[in-house]
Amino acid sequence: MTGEVVVVGGGVMGSSAAWHLAARGRRVTLLERFAPGHDRGSSHGSSRIFRLAYPEPEYVALAVRALPLWRRLEEETGTALLELTGAVDHGPAAATSALHAALATAGRPAELLDPARVAERWPGLRADTSALFHPEAGRLHADHAVAAFQRAAAAHGAEVRHGVRIARIAVRGGGNGDGSGGGGNGGAGVELVTTEEEVILAEQVVVAVGGWAPGLLSGLVPGLPPMRVTEERPVHFPAAAPLDWPSFIHHGGAQLVSDVGVYGLGSVDGVKVGFHGVGPVVDPDHRAGDPDPRAVERVREYARRWLPGVDHTAPTATTCLYTTTPDHDFVVDRRGPVTVLAGFSGHGFKFASVLGALAADLVEGRPAARRFALGAGRGR
């Protein structure tokens, strides 16, 4: 089989890239090793936070670009994916003030509040020290989003194949290795070999395999930063009207003594709560997938103190993978015929609608953003 672009990885990032590429008229094949709706990676479940609030202007701008693309996907597929409930950030004043300043600079609405005002507006949520409310935030339905990207890609002519695991990727021909050049790569190409020894040839490949990126890309892509793959253990709690809850971030450093923050949001499964990036390092092919009772108890104790609106005695735990870079910035770049989407560090899902477009830009020869580049050129 030959094809112009093969996308390896059918999670939210690869599926978005397949949609954008197919919509631009590229011949696309999307390969995913697991069955539809699987829970082995980072893109499953009923909820992910959407938010514009970041202290860094680049991330605010990227989220602003993502919002209309989520709406475009909803329109193309007739699927409701993004509900704007607003979000509450709380904790040290330095954190909330920085977010407020970044949103104001971008011309986006935001409101500083004190904890008493938060309790009045959202009785189920207790705020710490200072708070910021920003209305252009809420939740995405993760499983529905992945399925919608794949349906939209197929509607534009992409072939979507599940149950295909890529064992190795090799660059063929005259690749220049610097990420430059147009769609044809000057005669270069890629050869992909599956675990079933099927050989797949393509002009270009987009690799978006989440926690499997360090293993699959090692030796193939120069300048790839180290990535730490962890198994995270968020918890859902029963609550009255959980879909009415805002998304929330509790920044560490004030009454939350730890520097590790906590995130949460309402969902069809209850109010989801988790500590950010504290799970153990795992091999994604060999992990238990069972919630650690000690981790569940830590989240339950947090809910008892800070979330009076949930039933902290009835937690339901789940797991997912984080693939984290040292600077928590993403990897969105190209080397020769290989485009990489990786290292989303527990905060990438909200950007998937636009990161797929950036991947398509890279395939077409446009340069990467410096912040997300491979190698020593990464930087703020």
- Same fold yes or no, 2-44+144-221+326-377 and 72-139+229-324: no
Class of domain 2-44+144-221+326-377: alpha beta
Query: What CATH fold (topology level) applies to the domain 72-139+229-324?
Result: D-Amino Acid Oxidase; Chain A, domain 2 (3.30.9)
Per-residue pLDDT of the chain (380 residues; tens, 9 = 90+): 445 999 999 999 999 999 999 999 999 999 999 999 999 999 999 999 999 999 999 999 999 999 999 999 999 999 999 999 999 999 999 999 999 999 999 999 999 999 999 999 999 999 999 999 999 999 999 999 999 999 999 999 999 999 999 999 999 985 444 443 333 444 579 999 999 999 999 999 999 999 999 999 999 999 999 999 999 999 999 999 999 999 999 999 999 988 899 999 999 999 999 999 999 999 999 987 777 899 999 999 999 999 999 999 999 999 999 999 999 999 999 999 999 999 999 999 999 999 999 999 999 999 999 999 998 656 65
What angle is formed at CA 64 by the lines to CA 63 and CA 69, rounded to 5 degrees? 85
- In sequence order, which ranges of the chain are alpha helices (DSSP H)? 12-23, 57-77, 93-105, 115-121, 142-155, 213-217, 293-306, 352-363
Closest of 363, 264, 348 to residue 12, by C-alpha: 348
- Residue 269, sorted as left (phi over 0), alpha (psi -120 to 50) or beta, turns out to be alpha
- Contact (CB, 8 A) for 173 and 189: yes
Chain Cα centroid distance, residue 276: 13
CA-to-CA separations, 332 to 27, 128, 208, 277, 356, in angstroms, rounded: 21, 35, 10, 21, 10
| Residue ranges per structural domain of the chain | 2-44+144-221+326-377, 72-139+229-324
Closest of 272, 264, 361, 277 to residue 16, by C-alpha: 361
What is the C-alpha to C-alpha distance for residues 273 and 297, in angstroms, rounded to an integer?
A: 12
Q: How many CA within 13 A on the CB side of residue 121? A: 17
* CB neighbour list of residue 60: distance below 8 Å, 6 or more residues apart: 52, 53, 54, 102, 103, 105, 106, 108
